[in-house]
Amino acid sequence: MLNFEFKNPTKIIFGQGQTAKIADEIPAGAKVLMTYGGGSIKKNGIYDAVKDALKDFEVIEFGGIPANPAYHQLLDALKIIKEEGITFMLAVGGGSVIDATKFLSSAALYDGEEPWDILAKKIRTEEGLPFGTVLTIPATGSESNSGAVISNHQTGEKFSMGGPGLFPQFSLLDPTVIRTLPQRQLANGIMDAFSHALEQYMTYPVKAGLQDRFAESIMQTLIEVGPQVMKDPSDYDAAGDFMWCCTMALNGLIQKGVPTDWAIHAMGHELTALYGIDHARTLAIVAGSHYRYNLDRKKAKLAQYAERVWGIVDGTAEEKALAGIKKTEAFIQSLGIETQLSAYTDTYKTAAKEIADRFTSRGWTGLGEHKDLSPADVEKIVEMAY
């Protein structure tokens, strides 16, 4: 096992019928900015429940935050925070709303000229404006970690930020929220969480037995409850397992003491930037070809995965590894998610070269757990995903 440090101070409030509890978690007298997305919370009852819980606080709302939250829109919210003297924020939404709120948390206390520098210059946020979250879409794990991803439409960039100041003070996780989610978002959430577990796990053996088994546990549980959730989002037990898996997949725990890959996420972000494909679906496109391309170096772990997660016990390590990849793709497809780029766009044939060129032009260091996948490797992997 590698040396590590781990601290996650977010308080999780999990279960149904607990929205009123958030009032106890917000400092008395706080002036609250409530952030949310496109307005679905006004149809499914979450908006009303949250507003009722906040009735003793002065609340200003900032809605309309889209998927892949955009820097320049968030500057409007930043202005409100400063002009109104906001002292606490409450993000009511999925990963995009929570990530946007994390940016605002950092920017509110940032004393530089240009808040984009937090992302462009990778400035770590040691302290942020405190905030909580009410999660409405299980997927990203942002409700229990200190990272965020923000897009800048003027520069065409999508960068990540983080730091210990960006953990939510609390997160309310109510599994009943998935009842009104469209099938597409449910499938995306299962895929995103599965990929988080897989990308932190699928490297090479480092004798971190418990981390391996925890990652396998998350994947096994998603494989079990994913189809149940898709079939009946009002199945509370399945929804609860799904929601808790999403949180545990990216709250920092399973990445501690082990190498992590994340090349699939890096390539996927570019597919979203180029084609506007849903984040989770870009991961589905890249995963299979990434593992086939890196079969030799990941063979031992792929075989372990095939054995433990998929029960594939016959064959050589290579045969098991390949069978595990096939099972993974079949699982993704069973969620209604296509695994080839050509299913999403007709102009796919330029993708590999374009993405490789983007990596080259940024002067990025290599991708993957060995940090040695070059733009040429990326080009081949994306090509294999056509």
The residues of the shown chain that bind its own copies, judged by CB under 8 A, are 1-18, 175, 207-211, 213-214, 216-218, 220-221, 224-225, 237, 240-241, 244-245, 248, 256-257
Q: Dump the DSSP string for 264-287.
A: HHHHHHHHHHHH---HHHHHHHHH
From CA 321, how far away is CA 327, in angstroms rounded?
Answer: 10
Q: How far is the CB of 10 from its own copies (least distance, A)?
A: 7
CB closer to its own copies, 8 vs 347 = 8
Q: CA Rg, the chain, in Å?
A: 21
Q: Write the single-letter amino acid at 101.
A: T
Q: How far is the CB of 195 from its own copies (least distance, A)?
A: 17
Q: Rounded to the nearest 5 degrees, what angle is found at the Cα of 69, between the Cα atoms of 63 and 71?
A: 100
Between CA 88 and CA 316 the distance in angstroms is 56
Chain center to CA of 54:
27
Q: How far is the CB of 8 from its own copies (least distance, A)?
A: 7
Closest separation between CB of residue 171 and its own copies, Å? 10
Would you say 332 and 349 are in contact if contact means Cβ atoms under 8 Å apart?
no
Q: Minimum CB separation from its own copies for residue 238, in Å?
A: 8
Q: Which is nearer to its own copies, 172 or 385 (CB)?
A: 172
CB of 353 to its own copies, least distance (A): 41
Least Å from the CB of residue 53 to its own copies: 16
* Residues 183, 336 contacting (CB under 8 angstroms): yes
* Matching residue, tokens 């930020």: 161
Residue placing its CB nearer to its own copies in the complex, 84 or 224: 224
- Residue 7 or 43 with smaller CB distance to its own copies: 7
**Which of residues 116 and 242 has its CB atom nearest to its own copies in the complex?**
242
- Look up residue 56 and give its amino acid: D
In sign, the C-alpha dihedral spanning 48, 50, 56, 61 is negative
- Asked if residue 281 lies in contact with residue 345, where contact means CB atoms within 8 angstroms, the answer is no
How far out from the chain centre does Cα 50 lie?
24
Comparison of 5 and 114: residue with beta carbon closer to its own copies: 5
Closest to its own copies by CB, 25 vs 383, is 25
Q: What count of other Cβ atoms lies within 10 Å of the Cβ of residue 2? A: 11
Which residue is listed with tokens 């390590």? 317
